[in-house]
């Protein structure tokens, strides 16, 4: 299955490395968890 080529990242990600995407997902999840813990009571 050939997929479209991109200058940076690939069809499933805007990141060049999957690890960068993982780190960003971890950061987002951390921010969401913190905001939930702070604002939801």
Partner 1 sequence: MVYTKKSPALLIIGFLLLVWGWLNANGSLDNLQSSLQKSAYSDYVKVNEKYQAELRVATEQAQSDGKPAPTMKKPHSKFDQEKEFQTQFCYIFGGAFTILGLVVLASKPKSGNVDYYLSTVPGMAFILLIACVVRWVLDPMFTNWGKAVQDAGTLSWDFAKIFNLNYVVMGILAGIVIVNVFKIPEWAANGVRTARLFLKTGVILLGALYSAAELAQLGALSVIMIGFFVLGSVWLVLIMGRRMKSPNSMTGVLSAGLGVCGVSATVAASPVVQAKSGEIAYTIGTILLWGVGCMFLFPTVGHILHMGPVQFGAWAGTGILNSAQVAGAALAFDPHGIDTLKVAEIFNITRVLFLPIIVLWLAAWFVKHEEGAKKVNLKQVVIAKFPLFVLGFIAMFALSSTGVFAPPGHYQGKYFSGAEVKEDKLLKPKEVRALEAELPKMRNAEETKALQDLVANRKLTSREQDNTLKAVAKIEGLDGVAAGAIANASKAAWHDSKIIKAFRDWLAWLFAFGLIGLGMQITAASIKQAGGKPLIIGSVVGTLKAVGSLIVVLMFVREFV
Tell me which residues touch partner 1 (CB under 8 A). 1, 3, 6-15, 18-19, 21-26, 28-29, 32-33, 36-37, 40-41
- As a whole number of angstroms, the distance between CA 16 and CA 28 comes to 18
Q: How far is the CB of 18 from partner 1 (least distance, A)?
A: 5
CB atoms within 10 A of CB 13: 14
Secondary structure class of 13 (helix, strand, coil): strand
Q: How far is the CB of 29 from partner 1 (least distance, A)?
A: 4
Token duo for residue 36: 């939930």
Q: How far is the CB of 17 from partner 1 (least distance, A)?
A: 10
């Amino acid at each position: 299955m050939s997929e479209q080529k991109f200058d940076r990242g690939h069809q499933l990600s805007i990141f060049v490395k999957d690890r960068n995407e993982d780190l960003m997902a971890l950061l987002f999840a951390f921010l969401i968890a913190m905001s939930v813990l702070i604002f939801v009571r």
